Structure 1
Amino acid sequence: MQQRPLVDMTLSHHLAYVAVDGIDGSWSFPHSARPGRDEKTFVADVLDDLRQRYGFTHDRTVIGGFSIGASMAWYTACQQGEKAVAMITFSGVFWDPLPKAEDCVADVPRIIHFHGTADQTFPLAGRAIGANFHQGNAYDSMAILRSRAKCDVKAAKTITLDGVECDDVPGCIRGDSIMCIHDGGHEARADMLDAALTAVGFPR
């Protein structure tokens, strides 16, 4: 792990850090630039293995990811979100064409997503990757999961996590949906992870 501070911060919250990876460092989620492995089955197999061998339970599992790994986490929340209590992601969301709310068949867990206004690798508005692929819009992606989770968007309030103002939408099926927009770039910082893990209830 090159992002060792993220590992150390996770361990400090009394959680194991399980690093999964796509083939050749990429992922094959819907509409990604790297078609290949059935990632939904792969992630399901990993979660089943962790449960069977180490006793991991959904109420102690947090899905996470950065950049394209965050995109993979979003598709996991959409398809298998009931297997985790929360999702914490940085600088990556769905890809175009975006799924519809009804395409997400899982009970979406509570969400905290960080994204930078200066991110040029995965901009908030998304961007084209070559002629055939396009990263999705972060606001539109969040709206999809909030709709699937039946969040009360009219009750949105502003909170602060790690000094970043966040849009906190309550009333969701399994917990608040929080989007934190900072003025940084394409990054995942340990201090942000610290604040997010605390916000979703770890340590317990």
Structure 2
Amino acid sequence: MRYLIFGLALIWALPAAAMGPWQDCGGEVACTLGDRSYYIRLPDDWDGQSPMPVMLHFHGWQRTGALPVNHGRISGATRRRGVLLVAPNGLRKTWDFWDSDTDDVPFASAVLADVAKRYPVDEENIFVSGYSFGSAMAWRYVCENGNDVRALLAVAGTLSQSETCSQAPGEVRHVHGLNDTVMDFPMGPGGDVTHPVALWRAAYGCGAGEARGVWQQVDFLTLSRTEWDTCATGRVSLDLHPGGHFIPHGWFARHLDELLDLPFSYP
């Protein structure tokens, strides 16, 4: 994470007394950073001292970071699992993810560095996530600056699978609805339903995937999973469901439980 490493090095060198959380923002109050801002949501049971995993989440089109920090399927998952949720605000309520020449990647990196000034961060567990346009932005972020990201958690939005990425996260976990007509399901040649993660399978040097069967967090939605876990580097997971453009109930919760080695629970 080339934009983040230098900032974190300075932050962790500060005296412990300087590491306490500031009280000028949080919850419904946005944190300012230059001429931009972001929201945070603390875990329910944080002890005020322990380093926290962080999930940097990019909101959908025409939304702001105020939505994820109050969203049951997003913050409802993070706050019960000891994860600090960080939700930047996109300019004009959108994101510039179309190519590598974007100001939103360094902005998001600056957000993470600013968060680390305010709170103790578990830098081994930095997750990057997003929904819809925000999911495409999350892909762009880790494509350009993901080497120190533990995992990408992406919902219903991708980059072109022909994109060339200079960096990559430790692993990728993506979910998409087969009947999504907003961020259309990126079907591959010959009806290949594994195409939505073709970019990362190529980047990691993955071979054939393995079907892991179906799973549910709620009884009205079934997801089917394919995993590529014998790649030269990294790991890829793809969940598919028969629905459209939405965040599946319990999806973030299930994947955070897996990543943090917690007992499966809902929500």
- TM-score (normalizing by structure 1): 0.79
Superposed counterparts of 1:55-204, under 5 Å: 55-95=120-160, 98-100=162-164, 104-125=165-186, 139-151=194-206, 153-162=207-216, 163-172=222-231, 175-201=234-260, 203=262
Quote the sequence identity (%).
21
Structure 2 residue 101 is matched with structure 1 residue 30:
no
- Counterparts of 1:58 and 1:64 in 2: how far apart (Å)? 16
Per-residue CA distance 1:141-168 (angstroms, 9 max, x = gap): 51111211223x2253324443411111
Query: Larger radius of gyration, structure 1 or 2?
Result: 2
Root mean square deviation, CA, Å? 2.7
Shift of 1:170: 0.5
- Counterparts of 1:106 and 1:57 in 2: how far apart (Å)? 21
Shift of 1:187: 0.4
Shift of 1:202: 5.0
Residue pair 1:13, 1:202 contacting (<8 A) in 2 also = no
Corresponding residue SS for 1:168: strand
- TM-score (normalizing by structure 2): 0.62
Shift of 1:173: 5.7
Shift of 1:196: 1.4
Residue pair 2:186, 2:196 contacting (<8 A) in 1 also = no
- Counterparts of 1:113 and 1:15 in 2: how far apart (Å)? 19
The structure showing larger relative contact order (alpha-carbon pairs under 8 Å, at least 6 residues apart) is: 1
Residues 76 and 114 (structure 1), Cα distance of their counterparts in 2 relative to 1, 3 Å cut = same
Runs of 4+ in 1 over 3 A off after TM superposition: 137-141, 172-175
Per-residue CA distance 1:79-113 (angstroms, 9 max, x = gap): 111232111111000048x413xxx2224221111
**How many corresponding residue pairs?**
186
- Counterparts of 2:80 and 2:232 in 1: how far apart (Å)? 29
Residues 31 and 76 (structure 1), Cα distance of their counterparts in 2 relative to 1, 3 Å cut = closer
Shift of 1:190: 3.8
Residues 16 and 54 (structure 1), Cα distance of their counterparts in 2 relative to 1, 3 Å cut = same
Shift of 1:175: 4.3
Residue pair 2:209, 2:226 contacting (<8 A) in 1 also = no
- Counterparts of 2:124 and 2:205 in 1: how far apart (Å)? 20
